[in-house]
Amino acid sequence: MNPIEVSNNCKLLKFNVSVSGLVPDGQSVVLKVTNNTSTVELNANVEGGYILTSTSMETAGIVTYEVIYLSEVVKIGYTVSSCEIDCCIAKLTESAINCTCKCDKCKEELDRAEKILLLLISAKHAAEVEQNKEDAIAKYNKAKEFCTEVCACGC
């Protein structure tokens, strides 16, 4: 399970962060959460080796969390907040399903939606499993670029 869960509307973050062996139970930590545009610092307690908390925060792209205990960063993690890209994939898919033209435009939209989805899955893997923020950002940005691309086939 990923320690950060992003709500479907990308406005709520829930944390279930394991700090077992890093911070003793009952201790207070700061959870610093950073998005592309803002940072929030939350005070939380460690219970049973975990930090369980949530916060409201507009998110898009890569979200970073840092667990700070006694003024030191003891853990860092990442996830992908994908609402804007999820919306793009849904629109492309709907457009492809409702497409009635006789050329390859319908298939091209579905192919593009598939590329975007695969890039998004790859970005999430880079962020959450590999803990590779730079790779996650690159894949997320490429997916976003495909979302803004417009077919000029003219059919």
Q: What is the pLDDT of residues 85-99, one digit of tens each?
A: 999 999 988 888 888
How many angstroms separate the CA atoms of 89 and 52, rounded? Answer: 32
Kindly give the confidence (pLDDT) of every residue in the chain, 155 residues in length, as a single tens digit, with 9 standing for 90 and above. Answer: 689 999 989 999 999 999 999 999 999 999 999 998 899 999 999 999 999 999 999 899 999 999 999 999 999 999 999 998 999 999 988 888 888 887 777 788 889 999 999 999 999 999 999 999 999 999 999 999 998 865 444 43
Give SS3 for 4.
Answer: strand
Where do the domains of the chain lie?
A: 4-81, 83-148
Cα–Cα distances in angstroms (integers) from residue 63 to residues 12, 17, 35, 139, in the given order: 12, 14, 5, 14
DSSP string, 39-74: EEEEEEEEETTEEEEEEE----EEEEEEEEETTEEE
Q: For tokens 């399970």, name the residue.
A: 1
CATH tag, 4-81: 2.60.40.1930
**pTM, rounded to two decimals:** 0.86
